[in-house]
Structure 1
């Protein structure tokens, strides 16, 4: 371990001499008879522990520590006091201006242990700051990676999907057996993964932005957006919104979009009357939303697991991300969700979101 650099400020020369004599072999010691001289040393030496006497002619030890809290925040501060000044000590401790105080005359063992503990606190502070800097760097790299996913990766994917659509328009989709269909399926699946990844990332990064939410408009936009995948699914919508609702529009859209998309996606192929029922009841305290379908349903043993990241039932062809994102988004806005389902009978989700008005 490197030698601990200690600065001791005291207007009494005898105390400085005694400190040097007692600890010169254990620490690299710097001394000053005034706060101004101590300030000069701090500007030229990387001090790790500062000891200051409380009662000095021009400035108290507590006030000196406060004065250097912004310019020299790293050194850990110990106060020596020969009299009881509880109010000043309590204020200094509460504001983080001092690490510990020791009464004079000091006990060598107590002061030695205090310096060692203060140095450990100093090292921990520096390591924490380095870890934070490392995390910030990693976060910046993650931001660039997400940007790459949303732009550089998705752009060629959209082009490939566009080519498939051109093939369909020209009547050549079935000309090569099932190959074009396989390409379309893979492209759609990859696009779905990219979109869910972006949703998950934005849900964690985006701060809540409270604004007015019009559920009539929002629900219709989401139905129009997702119903293109299955035109045979019929929607029955009942919205009661006689009062203003304020909430996180981004996360509410993510929640409802995933649930409506799932309600369409997991319909039974042989069902002749595919339907999704959406009920929205806006009250002054909260909105209650119920989304039901008559689709494939979920096994009872799976109901507690469906909100787990990457959980997929054997009959489920999804990614295991959609409902996990729903639960994460609800947690961000203090919402609640309940689910009931029966195999081949359909699924009902009930969501409650507080009104932020």
Structure 2
């Protein structure tokens, strides 16, 4: 005997009264049974009883087929596991049931009591596993959100004392109040700037994963011109070549596309060879109605082949000769993943690096959103 609150809750739908009574007679001691003689009645029970765990439905019914019923309820009631019964060997119905109704099992009528009992037990175990997984995912998401908020808040709080430290350094220099023959102030300033840059990258990453997607029109010529102007301040000796072929309207997330371009161009400048008389970064962009293909090539220090598979990992640095943070390319990869893009890299050490980026054009998606 099973305690009432421990019984598996099963909804059985069949337009034949004899089948309903036979199911009740066979399994009433084992399961908490709800029966319905039509799809409408079954839907009513699902609305009233929120914790149905297994649904068994006959395929051939007057108002709708079992597959059609499962197709209707699977979004409104995704948790109950679905089992289809039929007295017909109908291959098309089986295929539709799996593809459209997302059934767990297909059982022929007249059903075998032992087979059906095993199917219900397995369905219940799947139901329980799914709920546990959903609960764990929810808990992990909550923990991750709390951690992200903590990191973001802490990062903002850390920038205030860093700004104060920079102010004190500048004040000491202006007043010549510190005798600094070994340039300790310069060393402190370098460390403070490095820390501030790292904190800004953390804030940038947080915004990239937290800000909602927002599709808008992107003019690559204008966006890249602004980014290049900022990069020129970073290193005026670098020559930039920008070629944009954009004959169609392009829609995607301007915030994340800007993050991607900023990090890639900043890296190209940062990792240029000190010995090169003519450091160069070339950007080629080809836009069509489906995507934007972007190529960013430099003649910088390059990346050794064994490091190419690791450069998109957080905190990985391919060289110690430049004060990189090891987070920029990770942010690029995450932002591209969020907007449905892709990136690949080719590089030769001491020759240069070329990044190939694909970003989808969401013009049609934007039009569909506006029409709805």
Range into which the TM-score falls when normalised by the shorter chain: 0.7 to 0.9
Moved more, 162-171 or 17-26: 17-26
Partner of 1:351: helix, strand, or coil?
strand
TM-score, structure 1 normalization: 0.75
The answer for the alignment partner of 2:16 in structure 1 is 12
Moved more, 309-318 or 142-151: 309-318
Partner of 1:219: helix, strand, or coil?
helix
The answer for the alignment partner of 1:74 in structure 2 is 79
- The residue correspondences of 1:263-282 to structure 2 (distance < 5 A) are 263=272, 267=274, 275=277, 277-280=279-282, 282=284
How far the C-alpha of 1:51 sits from its partner, in A, is 1.7
Task: Determine the C-alpha separation between the residues in 1 that align with 2:123 and 2:207.
Answer: 41
The answer for the alignment partner of 2:327 in structure 1 is 321
120, 126, 138: which one aligns with 1:121: 126
How far the C-alpha of 1:177 sits from its partner, in A, is 6.7
The answer for the alignment partner of 1:162 in structure 2 is 167
Task: Determine the C-alpha separation between the residues in 1 that align with 2:141 and 2:88.
Answer: 45
How far the C-alpha of 1:276 sits from its partner, in A, is 5.5
330, 333, 348: which one aligns with 1:340: 348
Partner of 1:336: helix, strand, or coil?
strand
2:30 corresponds to 1:21: no
2:177 corresponds to 1:183: no
**8 Å CA contact retained: 1:161, 1:187:** yes
Moved more, 251-260 or 202-211: 202-211
Cα distance, 1:356–1:149 mapped onto 2, change above 3 Å: same
2:88 corresponds to 1:83: yes
- The residue correspondences of 1:103-252 to structure 2 (distance < 5 A) are 103-174=108-179, 180-202=185-207, 211-214=218-221, 215-224=224-233, 226-227=234-235, 235-239=237-241, 241=243, 243-244=245-246, 248-252=257-261
| Unaligned residue ranges in structure 2 (runs of 5+) | 288-292, 362-372
Aligned length: 336
Partner of 1:243: helix, strand, or coil?
strand
2:55 corresponds to 1:50: yes
2:299 corresponds to 1:292: yes
How far the C-alpha of 1:235 sits from its partner, in A, is 0.9
Task: Determine the C-alpha separation between the residues in 2 that align with 1:26 and 1:174.
Answer: 88
Listed one character per residue, the Cα deviations across residues 63-114 of structure 1 (whole Å, up to 9, x for unaligned) are: 4444544443322222222234554554343222533332221112221221
Task: Determine the C-alpha separation between the residues in 1 that align with 2:27 and 2:11.
Answer: 12
How far the C-alpha of 1:212 sits from its partner, in A, is 2.0
Cα distance, 1:235–1:154 mapped onto 2, change above 3 Å: same
Task: Determine the C-alpha separation between the residues in 1 that align with 2:210 and 2:263.
Answer: 14
How far the C-alpha of 1:208 sits from its partner, in A, is 8.9
Larger Rg: 1
Task: Determine the C-alpha separation between the residues in 1 that align with 2:55 and 2:11.
Answer: 5
Task: Determine the C-alpha separation between the residues in 2 that align with 1:152 and 1:7.
Answer: 55
Task: Determine the C-alpha separation between the residues in 1 that align with 2:22 and 2:329.
Answer: 69
Partner of 1:223: helix, strand, or coil?
helix
How far the C-alpha of 1:191 sits from its partner, in A, is 0.8
**8 Å CA contact retained: 2:60, 2:86:** yes
| Unaligned residue ranges in structure 1 (runs of 5+) | 228-233
Task: Determine the C-alpha separation between the residues in 1 that align with 2:93 and 2:184.
Answer: 80
The answer for the alignment partner of 1:230 in structure 2 is none
2:270 corresponds to 1:261: yes
Cα distance, 1:20–1:340 mapped onto 2, change above 3 Å: same
Listed one character per residue, the Cα deviations across residues 105-149 of structure 1 (whole Å, up to 9, x for unaligned) are: 111222122112221222233223323322432343244234314
Moved more, 316-325 or 96-105: 316-325
TM-score, structure 2 normalization: 0.72
Cα distance, 1:53–1:242 mapped onto 2, change above 3 Å: closer
